Amino acid sequence: ARAAARDRAPETAIGQRCQGLASSSGKGGVGKSSVTVNLAAGLAEKGFTVGVLDADIWGFSVPRLLGMNDRLDANEVDGRPQIIPNRKSIGQGMLEVVSTGFLVEESTALMWRGLMLTKAVEQFLRDVAWGDLDYLLIDMPPGT
């Protein structure tokens, strides 16, 4: 089953050596984002390059927790448009962060559900120029 899933997975810019970890829970407000951000900062402090994908489309808090508010940029990479993650140096390492919080104001309500939410997360995985990550941490929305 794992091989079949790998064969069906879309192409991404995420390297083969990257280790992934998703923070999820059945309900909101339990600290998923705090755990994700603190783990990412701790790994970066040790010299790793860590991607952080804030997949909590409705309650994005990663930008605020990291003190980041720059808009995402896009460039053409290998002939196709790619989202460039916002970067933050911590210790000897680097965070590469993508969040809908970099696309809309924090007070803006997004009413994405089901397929639209899934496609947004897929696009973040597929169309982000992640670079050479050691880890990719994904902050999942509540109920996942």
- Kindly state the percentage of the chain with pLDDT values over 90: 33
The pLDDT, as a whole number, for residue 14 is 75
Sequence letter at residue 18: C
- Give the mean model confidence (pLDDT) for residues 50-79: 86
Q: How many helices (H) and strands (E) does the chain have?
A: 4, 7
Write down the domain spans for the chain. Answer: 39-139
Phi, psi (degrees; rounded to nearest 5) at 139: -90, 105
The pLDDT, as a whole number, for residue 34 is 92
Facing residues of 135 across strands? 19, 50
Label residue 1 by pLDDT band (50, 70, 90): low
As a whole number of Å, the CA-based R_g of the chain is 15
Label residue 73 by pLDDT band (50, 70, 90): confident
Label residue 97 by pLDDT band (50, 70, 90): very high
HSE, side-chain direction, 13 A CA sphere, residue 92 = 4
Q: What angle do CA 77, 78, 80 make, to 5 degrees?
A: 65
Q: How far apart are the first and last CA of the chain?
A: 21
CATH level 3 topology of 39-139: Rossmann fold (3.40.50)
